[in-house]
Amino acid sequence: MDLDKILEAVAEFVEPHRGKGKVADYIPALASVDPNKFGMAVATRDGTCHKIGDADECFSIQSISKVFTFSLALQKVGDTLWERVGREPSGSAFNSIVQLEHERGIPRNPLINAGAIVVTDHLIDNGDADATTEMLLGVLRDHAEDESIAIDMEVARSESETGARNRSLAHFMASFGNLDNDVETILSAYFRHCALALSCSQLARAALFLAFDGKDPVTRERIVTPQRCRRINAVMMTCGHYDNSGDFAFRIGLPGKSGVGGGVLVIAPGEGAIAVWSPGLNEAGTSTVGALALEALVEQTGWSVFG
């Protein structure tokens, strides 16, 4: 299969749609991103990264970071994670607070904000949010084989300044006894994780282990067990795209995670990891052009978990 040719065809297909959708504007650093940006990268078994467009430009990965913190928490605490976070699609906005009250402070899944805040809490030892953030950075640099990966501290600061809703979610969960660490400590790590800046190429490479049963196919390092890898992919499939996870599964048929920076990470089990970036979002918060590009890619490659 000639992935470079396929990517060229995908880029041609999305060209008339470039700039569609609404760029996230809750913080200046996201609001000022050029809506016409488009990049896509596919990392395959041997670590080769096929790419097109702005695939080497770093963008704010936002909620895509939740996939990595979720994997790390499963590695660290195993199935006890499920005592404090569920694994059902939320059917509500990513930052909904209503559901949390009904469900007594147990968030629906690890890929919505409340769930990721609980996951982050699990990753903090001795109240040291800096160490957790350094650890995550180190893991991403290792997985992507790229030491240049960094956090955009301007985005992290803005996340904190505009973080009233996330603070509310966290305090609400704390009131149900579902957080061990201090709320501000957890959020200082959470906001920095949202502010990680990666390119499509770095992101696809960093997530490659999820396409190969939890083992990096290049370095042969086992990162998560095969069973956990399948489960992480299952949660991405059912919960990875806010309130349009069902539509995404229908259209693309592969597990993935969207972020409001316009990035989408998608896993094609046994084939590779795909990252796409285009900042304009649909109403649910998923990249409009990114989803179109992924639809075109799976049509051309035939990749799907549904046979």
Q: Which residues bind ligand GLU (CB under 6 A)?
A: 62-63, 94-95, 113, 159, 166, 194, 259-260, 285
Pick the closer one to ligand GLU by CB: 214 or 256: 256
CB of 113 vs ligand GLU, minimal distance in Å: 5
CB of 63 vs ligand GLU, minimal distance in Å: 3
* Distance between CA atoms of residues 107 and 149, nearest Å: 30
CB of 199 vs ligand GLU, minimal distance in Å: 17
Pick the closer one to ligand GLU by CB: 259 or 280: 259
Helix axes 164-175, 113-123, angle to 10 degrees: 70
Pick the closer one to ligand GLU by CB: 26 or 82: 26
Pick the closer one to ligand GLU by CB: 170 or 267: 170
Closest CA to 286 of 68, 24, 9, 36: 24
CB 40 within 8 A of CB 4: no
- In this structure, the number of other CB atoms found within 10 A of the CB of residue 35 comes to 18
* Beta carbons within 8 Å of 124's beta carbon, 6+ residues apart: 131, 132, 180, 181, 185, 186, 189
- In this structure, the number of other CB atoms found within 10 A of the CB of residue 171 comes to 12
CB of 145 vs ligand GLU, minimal distance in Å: 25
Pick the closer one to ligand GLU by CB: 117 or 232: 117
Closest CA to 294 of 260, 257, 261: 257
Pick the closer one to ligand GLU by CB: 63 or 178: 63
CB of 32 vs ligand GLU, minimal distance in Å: 16
- Alpha-carbon separation of residue 211 from 64, 206, 272 (angstroms): 16, 11, 5
